[in-house]
Chains A and B, each alone.
Chain A
């Protein structure tokens, strides 16, 4: 009988092993069998867990190996194995009997003229006697192990050497039969014992699964690549039949996984249909996706290894399977379908490269309609997201290599193609029910496209309307959330045929308008695209001959070019569209800028009427602005634009009218605009802004060179310059500066005006901006400065006083700080005017008593609380700094200008006449 505990059992096995070995060395075979049988009785113990059983099994296996070797070596000299084969069967208990029988029988297989076929058949049949799952599994595993070596090297059918297949088929039958029986036992284990131990059984089964799988491994080692048909017609159907019949989730999932993993890919391709059919017959809870994904992964690996293999039927097979699955298994969760589709998309990409998109679209279409049958949960959405992002959901590392695609390399291409070529990819994406998730997904896709298109700017083009429609459909959800993305997207719209390009942009325009989106910034970037278009269009018209164009089979353009009027109409149309876009921008500031820039563009293209209109629009926008700071900025902006325009006064020049003073003609757009601009500047609310605006506008009458247009100072003679007007502006701003109620600011503005005056002086405007004028201005500044210094001296000295008085109250006076004119009088003065708050702020006080009290409190406290000295001192110094900042005279600006004049004297004699 068997021992009660594992320790005892191990002890007994060891003891019996020793005894058996001793008997063998003395050739007492009967006794050796007896010990072996005693030892094997331990394997009858029903209380052992599978793990413990395995432990005992391993030890016993080794011992029996010794016995087997002895039997082989001493055959015929000491005994005959036929006799022994019968002899061991007298054992009354089945477990020891069968182990011994297999030991003897497998030993007999090594003997040359033994009845190998009969032995094999007999051994496997007799194993049926053990129906207890764990014991049966191990017994059959023992059979498998014992026959392994012989099966790999030996031949059963010696007479049929020419027909190797007979031999192989028998071996396959043998292993398959054993596999089937083992699987039955394994499945049965689930139902052993009480129901509450179900989880324990499941765990035990997982521990034992290797025993069953080992049979399939054996099969795969016996089958060679040339045995594909044997596999597909014989082995696989039988295994699959068992898989279906056992109706057990664990077994079905495990076995199919093993089948898919251990047999070579060629077999998988050949057995594809059978596996697929099988998966339809599985029990409802078995994960179909897991199996199909593994299968698909094998296909992918195969394709990777042998890229030249082409068999389009693979997808068709899986596709028709999918359709059947859809029909037959309405109970299957959407999750399963998504997972299958996910991995199938990868297969398609690889197998149907370079044109996988028709098939991919079918897949997306499938899932698009399929998902309507289910309630969509968060999980589903996330899975759909993964599907859309082509990220492999598999964590399969069985093959030690990454099944995932080289994502960086292919996905951006892929995304672009998916969007443009797969209608349902976009449909599916847009139909995601979680908005945030949807936008995240779209963003991810676009970022991938953009990141890679940055490297090669011309890599992606949206050049036809269908593509554009796909993209806009997809971007729809982003319109409100992510303007940046949409703006970036506009850059992708490119078509060599500029009219088509125009149509595409118009489509975008309508798209934006039709949605209640955050239009401002998006329209802005669309307008930029229109600008680009106009520039390109004009460039083509101007530079390329009609002959070249016709060669480029760009018929529309050729036609346009021949008829110039048409091209002008087109350009005008472009601008009108821009105008409309600008109108639709809800923000006046942006409208203003857009108008200015469009006007500049029109000007550069010598379209003065259009340019004028856009400038006028800009002024209208200006009037809508209410923020004075913004208005000032706008004046600066528009004046810069205006100053660079050339076409607006070209009329005057063409008329050879060199008298610029007569430029007050109503038809002179430029005159109109700059006058308007200056006027707006001079009407700004803030004096400072007024002053500076007018000063800025003075440049509008003083055109400067634009090298990009080929202009050069001194060479180009026809600059629009009107000194008188410039002087008027300067005077005007000087008046404003003078009227500023803050001395300091006034001084600063005056210095700025002086700088500007010097600029005009240097650049040759001497008829109105004279030396005298300069000197007068400098004199004015100096006078102002004197007043200013006098005014602020008091404050400056007081500043020092505070510092000193603070320091004087300390035991060790810090002489490091400057103390210029400290006296008792000043001290008193200081006390009258300022006090320092407890928090270090300056309190201005006109009440002498109050301030003394304050200072008493302050300094008294200081005397008593020396420990706070450092902190208080720091805060006091901080306050002086703030006083200095507020009341400081920006004298260095003036000094800098004076220095400049002095320096200029060395190169320009005229400056010697300016007094500093």
Chain B
């Protein structure tokens, strides 16, 4: 009985040299395991083999055609549907920006297990793969065995990392001068505004005036995901890093050095539907537990090493 509901065909998608390909690991909270996605970059061909296996040997399976699609889409379904519907705006939940399809077999019937190669040559990939709080940018291969009754499909997710050109990262240092009148006056400076994911943040904080009894000071990296239409924000504290213990006096300079490569960071993203930005947040916590902070935007880039 159980086989009744099972699709009559097993579809398996394997990619060329998949075992040696770098993978992106993401935790799958539902199953408590790590999902592994092979990583592709922009312009890279996606080649592989699709194997169709008829579930019960000897049985014929009719189909109206087998095709493979390479899909790229922005998935915003995680967004609270209620809020979007109540707004009355027509927000597309899925925004497909890439769709390439190739036919594998014309209509016919499957008797034996069969393998067929596929190849998407030099595919242009516009966006980085991304999995955020409310939005996901994903690429996947989808094999569809079209049938009169119900189609049998199989999806395999891919991960796309795009690389920026290193020379585009030349940037000015970030300097900020902030304070609370008669209480605190600091200057801080980050060596630059653009960073690669393996970079380190260098900087210093100069205390011009301090009447606060500071307990400690932290540097946070905040990743902000913003939906263009719903104005919905989602901040995630990617890094919390104590950079100072105790209360400095006027004239002290506190060094900042934060290595980024040890953290799973995403580069900045700017799509029509959403954006991912990064902010370095300097947080001062005084002895009474009050927090004082100042954020400065930085840009993260993925570059080829």
Binding site for B on A (CB under 8 A): 44, 86-87, 89-90, 92-95, 97, 125-126, 128-133, 135-136, 184, 188
Q: Could you tell me the distance between the alpha carbons of A92 and B244 in the complex, rounded to whole angstroms? A: 11
Whether the Cβ atoms of B245 and A90 lie closer than 8 Å is: no
B243 contacts which chain A residues (CB < 8 A)? 94, 129
- Tell yes or no: B109 within 8 A of A by CB: no
Whether the Cβ atoms of B259 and A86 lie closer than 8 Å is: yes
Q: How far is the CB of B186 from chain A (nearest CB, A)?
A: 13
Whether the Cβ atoms of B249 and A188 lie closer than 8 Å is: yes
A128 contacts which chain B residues (CB < 8 A)? 252-255
- Tell yes or no: B242 within 8 A of A by CB: yes
Q: How far is the CB of A767 from chain B (nearest CB, A)?
A: 119
B255 contacts which chain A residues (CB < 8 A)? 125-126, 128-129
Other than the given A89-B257, A136-B246, 9 more pairs (CB < 8 A) read: A89-B259, A94-B242, A94-B243, A128-B255, A131-B246, A131-B249, A133-B246, A135-B246, A184-B249
Q: Among A92, A129, A132, A135, which residue has its beta carbon within 8 angstroms of that of B254? A: A129
**Residue in B closest to A191 when the chains form the complex, CB atoms:** B249
B254 contacts which chain A residues (CB < 8 A)? 128-129, 131
B247 contacts which chain A residues (CB < 8 A)? 131-132
Interface flags, B228-253, vs A, CB<8A=1, else 0: 00000000000011111111110011
Q: Could you tell me the distance between the alpha carbons of A94 and B218 in the complex, rounded to whole angstroms? A: 9
Taking CB atoms and an 8 Å cut-off, the chain B residues in 239-279 that contact chain A are: 240-249, 252-255, 257, 259, 262
A133 contacts which chain B residues (CB < 8 A)? 246
Binding site for A on B (CB under 8 A): 214, 216, 240-249, 252-255, 257, 259, 262
Q: Could you tell me the distance between the alpha carbons of A136 and B248 in the complex, rounded to whole angstroms? A: 11
Q: Could you tell me the distance between the alpha carbons of A56 and B27 in the complex, rounded to whole angstroms? A: 40
Interface centre among A44, A130, A131 (most CB of B within 10 A): A131
Q: Could you tell me the distance between the alpha carbons of A89 and B262 in the complex, rounded to whole angstroms? A: 10
Q: Could you tell me the distance between the alpha carbons of A806 and B303 in the complex, rounded to whole angstroms? A: 139
Whether the Cβ atoms of B242 and A92 lie closer than 8 Å is: yes
B257 contacts which chain A residues (CB < 8 A)? 89, 126
Q: How far is the CB of A676 from chain B (nearest CB, A)?
A: 101
Q: How far is the CB of A350 from chain B (nearest CB, A)?
A: 45
**5 interchain residue pairs of minimum CB distance:** A132-B246, A131-B246, A131-B248, A94-B242, A130-B245
Say whether chain A's binding surface is mostly helix, strand, loop, or mixed: helix
Q: Could you tell me the distance between the alpha carbons of A93 and B247 in the complex, rounded to whole angstroms? A: 16
Q: Among B241, B245, B246, B252, which residue has its beta carbon within 8 angstroms of that of A92? A: B241
**Residue in A closest to B246 when the chains form the complex, CB atoms:** A132
Complex A-B: 30 CB contacts under 8 Å? A44-B245, A89-B257, A89-B259, A90-B259, A92-B240, A93-B242, A94-B216, A95-B245, A97-B242, A126-B257, A128-B252, A128-B254, A129-B244, A129-B245, A130-B245, A130-B246, A131-B214, A131-B244, A131-B245, A131-B246, A131-B247, A131-B249, A131-B252, A132-B245, A132-B246, A133-B246, A135-B245, A136-B245, A184-B249, A188-B249
B216 contacts which chain A residues (CB < 8 A)? 94
Q: How far is the CB of B41 from chain A (nearest CB, A)?
A: 26
Q: How far is the CB of B292 from chain A (nearest CB, A)?
A: 16
Q: Could you tell me the distance between the alpha carbons of A184 and B253 in the complex, rounded to whole angstroms? A: 13
A86 contacts which chain B residues (CB < 8 A)? 259
**Residue in A closest to B252 when the chains form the complex, CB atoms:** A131
Say whether chain B's binding surface is mostly helix, strand, loop, or mixed: strand
Q: Given A128-B252, A128-B255, are A90 and B244 also a contact pair (CB < 8 Å)?
A: no
Interface centre among B246, B247, B248, B249 (most CB of A within 10 A): B246
A95 contacts which chain B residues (CB < 8 A)? 245
Interface centre among A44, A86, A126, A128 (most CB of B within 10 A): A128
B262 contacts which chain A residues (CB < 8 A)? 87, 90
Q: Could you tell me the distance between the alpha carbons of A97 and B240 in the complex, rounded to whole angstroms? A: 13
Q: Could you tell me the distance between the alpha carbons of A133 and B255 in the complex, rounded to whole angstroms? A: 17
B245 contacts which chain A residues (CB < 8 A)? 44, 94-95, 129-132, 135-136
A93 contacts which chain B residues (CB < 8 A)? 242
**Residue in B closest to A132 when the chains form the complex, CB atoms:** B246
Q: Could you tell me the distance between the alpha carbons of A131 and B251 in the complex, rounded to whole angstroms? A: 12
A89 contacts which chain B residues (CB < 8 A)? 257, 259
Q: Could you tell me the distance between the alpha carbons of A236 and B259 in the complex, rounded to whole angstroms? A: 38
A92 contacts which chain B residues (CB < 8 A)? 240-242
Q: Could you tell me the distance between the alpha carbons of A641 and B257 in the complex, rounded to whole angstroms? A: 110
Q: How far is the CB of A134 from chain B (nearest CB, A)?
A: 9
Q: Could you tell me the distance between the alpha carbons of A136 and B249 in the complex, rounded to whole angstroms? A: 13
Q: How far is the CB of B73 from chain A (nearest CB, A)?
A: 35
Q: How far is the CB of A505 from chain B (nearest CB, A)?
A: 75
Q: Could you tell me the distance between the alpha carbons of A94 and B249 in the complex, rounded to whole angstroms? A: 18
Q: Could you tell me the distance between the alpha carbons of A125 and B252 in the complex, rounded to whole angstroms? A: 12
Q: How far is the CB of A34 from chain B (nearest CB, A)?
A: 14
Q: How far is the CB of B34 from chain A (nearest CB, A)?
A: 19
Whether the Cβ atoms of A94 and B259 lie closer than 8 Å is: no
B246 contacts which chain A residues (CB < 8 A)? 130-133, 135-136
Interface centre among B216, B245, B247, B255 (most CB of A within 10 A): B245
Q: How far is the CB of B252 from chain A (nearest CB, A)?
A: 6
B242 contacts which chain A residues (CB < 8 A)? 92-94, 97
**Residue in B closest to A139 when the chains form the complex, CB atoms:** B245
Q: Could you tell me the distance between the alpha carbons of A58 and B104 in the complex, rounded to whole angstroms? A: 72
Q: Could you tell me the distance between the alpha carbons of A702 and B254 in the complex, rounded to whole angstroms? A: 115
A131 contacts which chain B residues (CB < 8 A)? 214, 244-249, 252, 254
Q: How far is the CB of B265 from chain A (nearest CB, A)?
A: 13
Q: Could you tell me the distance between the alpha carbons of A126 and B202 in the complex, rounded to whole angstroms? A: 12
Q: How far is the CB of B206 from chain A (nearest CB, A)?
A: 11
**Residue in A closest to B239 when the chains form the complex, CB atoms:** A92
B241 contacts which chain A residues (CB < 8 A)? 92
Q: Could you tell me the distance between the alpha carbons of A92 and B216 in the complex, rounded to whole angstroms? A: 12
Q: Could you tell me the distance between the alpha carbons of A767 and B244 in the complex, rounded to whole angstroms? A: 128
Whether the Cβ atoms of A130 and B244 lie closer than 8 Å is: yes
Q: Could you tell me the distance between the alpha carbons of A211 and B273 in the complex, rounded to whole angstroms? A: 59
B249 contacts which chain A residues (CB < 8 A)? 131, 184, 188
**Residue in B closest to A96 when the chains form the complex, CB atoms:** B242
Q: Could you tell me the distance between the alpha carbons of A136 and B252 in the complex, rounded to whole angstroms? A: 13
Q: Could you tell me the distance between the alpha carbons of A95 and B245 in the complex, rounded to whole angstroms? A: 8
Q: Could you tell me the distance between the alpha carbons of A430 and B242 in the complex, rounded to whole angstroms? A: 70
Q: Could you tell me the distance between the alpha carbons of A516 and B255 in the complex, rounded to whole angstroms? A: 82
Q: Could you tell me the distance between the alpha carbons of A125 and B244 in the complex, rounded to whole angstroms? A: 12
Q: How far is the CB of B236 from chain A (nearest CB, A)?
A: 16
**Residue in B closest to A135 when the chains form the complex, CB atoms:** B245
A136 contacts which chain B residues (CB < 8 A)? 245-246
Q: How far is the CB of B229 from chain A (nearest CB, A)?
A: 36
Q: How far is the CB of B257 from chain A (nearest CB, A)?
A: 7
Q: Could you tell me the distance between the alpha carbons of A97 and B257 in the complex, rounded to whole angstroms? A: 12
A188 contacts which chain B residues (CB < 8 A)? 249
**Residue in A closest to B287 when the chains form the complex, CB atoms:** A46
Q: How far is the CB of B284 from chain A (nearest CB, A)?
A: 12
Q: Could you tell me the distance between the alpha carbons of A135 and B244 in the complex, rounded to whole angstroms? A: 11
Q: How far is the CB of A293 from chain B (nearest CB, A)?
A: 33
Q: Could you tell me the distance between the alpha carbons of A87 and B261 in the complex, rounded to whole angstroms? A: 10
Q: How far is the CB of B142 from chain A (nearest CB, A)?
A: 39
A125 contacts which chain B residues (CB < 8 A)? 255
